[in-house]
Structure 1
């Protein structure tokens, strides 16, 4: 029997071309995936309120922000228009605010930048207002630090300094250098 080999040969050629195309497309998709950054796990929230509770479950402080976004690559939480308010029951009479902030992963540090204001609250005495452009708040020790210029206003008194360590729980301020100001009794 004499059979014609051409149909089998053409079918084999079509199968070879199709498998070659699939291999090439598969390789292109892998290289495209390698070139495109992976988004990873992260989140973004509008009008967010992050609440830190103590061991007993009571609120220690609240961080409110217009927007909170977690950067997937490093785990940092970026905050826009930040306010940090301690619960009055834990007796830390300070509230903080800033244009932006960053909550560092695996640490108890909140970095505040841009128009940072720390203000006492309470009705018994005149408020104290501290302003700077950068501050790091350790939420475990209740200590705020900056090495930048600081202005402290209390009633009619103003102090200027370079650097500050504020022990918020103890209501103690430590000015680090270049301190000057005027006190009017």
Structure 2
């Protein structure tokens, strides 16, 4: 008598049953492993093309505007941050002072701190009634949008119709138009 060989269809049914059981018990996400902060950081929460934003004071007056080519918000270590491409900010003074325009190639927004760090070819300018256009160039500028305060510890160049001034570091109160150059200040003055 010949020994009984298992039927191949019984093995096939057992294998299919095991696959169906696994498919019903676990989702593909479970099989890939737990989510980590690294995996979450790769996927943006919000993606905006052609962004335009306005912020107002409690009195209803316009404080600043932000226009950008593109903004991508993501969460990193529990904080929401955003990459901003081609940001252009305009800060309006509460008095008759002219507004400050700030531009850069990119920026990083921190929504918890209400800050925007402008990076790469940062330019700020204002058309002052007495001194004409004042332009400030640097590589990195941290802006507190609530306080309307800008600062950097990088080299800066300040130009106006009256001359050129270079320095390392800058503090600027954008609402009042007060700019303080911090160290290694050198200038060329050209009186009109």
Moved over 6 A (4+): 12-15
Match in the other structure for 1:82: 87
- Compute the RMSD of aligned alpha carbons: 2.9
C-alpha distance after superposition, 1:57-95 (max 9, x if no partner): 432111001111112444112111110012466646311
How far residue 23 of structure 1 moved from its aligned partner, in angstroms, is 3.5
- Closer, same or farther in 2 for the Cα pair 1:34/1:23, shift >3 Å? farther
Give the secondary structure class of the aligned counterpart of 1:75. strand
1:3 alignment partner in structure 2: none
> CA offset at residue 100 of structure 1?
0.5
Gaps of 5+ in 2: 1-9
Alignment of 1:40-59 (within 5 A): 42-59=45-62
Instruction: Tell me: CA distance 1:45–1:28, structure 2 relative to 1, closer, same or farther (3 Å).
Output: closer
Task: State the distance in 1 between where 2:184 and 2:137 align.
Answer: 16
The answer for the alignment partner of 2:187 in structure 1 is: 181
More divergent stretch after superposition (45-54 vs 144-153): 45-54
Alignment partner of 1:148 out of 150, 154, 162? 154
Q: CA deviation at 1:124?
A: 5.2
Deviation readout 1:28-72 (Å, 9 max, x if unpaired): 721225379357771111111011122234321110011111124
> In terms of mean alpha carbon deviation, does 28-37 or 172-181 score higher?
28-37
Contact 2:128 2:134 in 1 (8 A): no
**Does the 8 A contact of 2:98 with 2:127 survive in 1?**
no
Partner of 2:31: 31
Deviation larger for 100-109 or 126-135: 100-109
Matches of 1:135 and 1:14 in 2, distance apart? Answer: 66
Contact 1:92 1:169 in 2 (8 A): no
Q: Give the TM-score, by structure 1 length.
A: 0.80
Q: Secondary structure at the match of 1:160?
A: strand
Taking the aligned partners of 2:168 and 2:14, their CA distance within structure 1 comes to: 75
The equivalent residue for 2:164 is 158
Q: CA deviation at 1:122?
A: 4.8
**TM-score with structure 2 setting the length:** 0.78
Give the match for residue 6 of structure 1: none
| Structure 1, unaligned runs of 5 or more | 1-11
In 1, the alpha carbon distance for the partners of 2:168 and 2:128 equals: 27
How many matched pairs? 176
Q: CA 1:50 to 1:174, structure 2 compared with 1: closer, same or farther past 3 Å?
A: same
Confirm or deny that 1:63 pairs with 2:66: yes
